Structure 1
Amino acid sequence: MEARQQGLLEKQPLQEVDEDVVAALSNSVSDEEREEMQVELDKLEEEISTLRQVLTAKEKHHAELKQKLGVNPLSEFRQNFNKSWHEMQTSTAYRKTQETFSTAGQKASAALSNVGTAISRKFGDMRNSSSFKSFEEKVESTVSTLKSKVGVPSNSGGSFEEVLSSTAHVSAQVTPAVATKLAEQ
């Protein structure tokens, strides 16, 4: 087992292995083929250099034209953004998502409408209940008592809203001295 691990741990520089492969290949290539390869390599390097010079000239001309047209990085960004936004909006995924949200919104709206109707119905039921009517009578009685003590003419038989409104009106008219007098009685 130690011998096996030692074999894995042996370090042979990668360069030596590469050099051996290169040496083996170079032995199989003749001097004439090697010269042809070198000539081809030189031509390729020259073409690459020429292409770089042409590309640099074209990039410079491109920049000059953009400057003359008034195209700056911000307007390019805006144009690219608008194009991307349009492409996204016309995509199938966006349209499906939009339809899904629209359907969900309609269902949520219908559900909230149903909840509002149910709440209104419950308030109506509560207002017609005996305990609410008892509470309403007690409020009307208290307001009538307050009105008689303050000296405001009493309108008997008013609705609950009228009673609350008149109570608020009476409360606004009561001064601290009157409030103290009422508390003493």
Structure 2
Amino acid sequence: MEDAEQGSQQHPDAIPEVGEDAVTAVSPSSPVPTMTDEEREELQGELAKVEDEIQTLSQVLVAKEKHLADIKRKLGITPLNELKQNITKSWQEVTTSNAYKRTSETLSQAGQKATAAFSSVGSAITRKLEDVR
């Protein structure tokens, strides 16, 4: 824990890690502006309000995710179907890319040249074997 605190002191702009409170991520060496009790109370009230809003939004998000899962279930969309669709879409994107087309074309040409070379070698070996007989 002490290392984490030192890390946040060395990098005050660092994003808090999972489970790390934004308040603890602020470097204690940062100058705290002097403020009146009234300003402090106002900020604490605003802090509480923002925390409440975050909690509410989190609850709404959970409810929306449940609703989404219910809709997908009713439509027969399973995680496996979604995975298949994602793979199909990704494969289509790959095969339509310029890099894929160029690579495919190059490999096709290389295959044709290799086939021609093997054919020539085969013919040469056949001729040599015929000469030996």
Q: Which TM-score tier does this pair reach, normalised by the shorter chain?
A: 0.7 to 0.9
Q: What is aligned with 2:118?
A: 112
Q: What is aligned with 2:18?
A: none
For the pair 1:25 / 2:32, whether they are aligned, the reply is yes
Matched residues in 1 for 2:47 and 2:77: separation? 41
Q: TM-score, normalised by structure 1?
A: 0.53
Q: What is aligned with 2:70?
A: 64
Q: What is aligned with 2:79?
A: 73
Q: What is aligned with 1:42?
A: 48
* Percent of paired sites with the same residue: 55
User: 1:125: how far off?
Assistant: 2.0
Q: Which runs of 5+ in 2 are unaligned?
A: 10-25
If asked which structure has higher relative contact order (CA below 8 Å, sep 6+), I would say: 2
Matched residues in 2 for 1:69 and 1:56: separation? 20
Matched residues in 1 for 2:54 and 2:69: separation? 22
- Give 1 or 2: higher helix fraction: 1
Matched residues in 2 for 1:88 and 1:81: separation? 10
Pick closer, same or farther for the CA change 1:38–1:90 going to 2, 3 Å: same
How many aligned positions are there?
111
Query: Which structure: larger Rg?
Result: 1
Q: TM-score, normalised by structure 2?
A: 0.72
Matched residues in 1 for 2:27 and 2:88: separation? 55
For the pair 1:122 / 2:128, whether they are aligned, the reply is yes
User: 1:126: how far off?
Assistant: 2.2
